Structure 1
Amino acid sequence: MRSFLYAIAVGLVGAALLHIVIILSLPSFTGRDAYTRVQAFGETNRFFPLADAGDTLAPINDDPAMKTAVCAFSVENGPIRLFAEGDVPFWSLAIYDSASNEVFSMNDRTSVSGALDTLLATPIQLIALRKALPQELEQAILVEMRGEEGYAVLRTFVPAQSRLDAATAFLADASCEPFTAEQ
Structure 2
Amino acid sequence: MRNLLYAIAVGLVGAALLHIVIILSLPSFTGRDAYTRVQSFGETNRFFPLANTSDTLAPINDDPAMKTAVCTFSVENGPIRLFAAGDVPFWSLVVYDGASNEVFSMNDRTSVSGALDTLVATPIQLIGIRKAVPQELEQSILVEMRGEEGYAVLRTFVPTRSRQEAATAFLADASCEAFTAD
Q: What is the rounded CA distance, in whole Å, between the counterparts of 1:108 and 1:176 in structure 2?
A: 17
Other structure's SS at 2:127 match: helix
Q: Tell me the equivalent position of 1:78.
A: 78
How far residue 178 of structure 1 moved from its aligned partner, in angstroms, is 0.2
Letter of the 1:90 counterpart? F
Q: What is the rounded CA distance, in whole Å, between the counterparts of 2:9 and 2:81 in structure 1?
A: 53
CA RMSD of superposed structures (Å): 1.1
How far residue 60 of structure 1 moved from its aligned partner, in angstroms, is 2.2
Greater shift in the superposed pair: 151-160 or 6-15: 6-15
Letter of the 1:151 counterpart? Y
How far residue 3 of structure 1 moved from its aligned partner, in angstroms, is 1.3
For normalisation by structure 2, the TM-score amounts to 0.97
Pairwise mapping of residues 9-28 of structure 1 onto structure 2 (< 5 A)? 9-28=9-28
Letter of the 1:102 counterpart? E
Segments of structure 1 that go 5 or more residues without pairing to the other structure are: none
How far residue 52 of structure 1 moved from its aligned partner, in angstroms, is 2.0
Kindly tell me the number of residue pairs found equivalent between the two proteins.
181
Q: Tell me the equivalent position of 2:145.
A: 145
Q: Tell me the equivalent position of 2:117.
A: 117
Change beyond 3 A, Cα 1:181–1:165: same
Other structure's SS at 1:23 match: helix
Q: What is the rounded CA distance, in whole Å, between the counterparts of 1:136 and 1:7 in structure 2?
A: 65
Q: What is the rounded CA distance, in whole Å, between the counterparts of 2:106 and 2:6 in structure 1?
A: 49
Same amino acid, percent of matched pairs:
87
Letter of the 1:17 counterpart? L
The Cα offsets for residues 20-62 of structure 1, whole Å up to 9 and x where unpaired, read as 0000000000000000010111210000000122x64774211
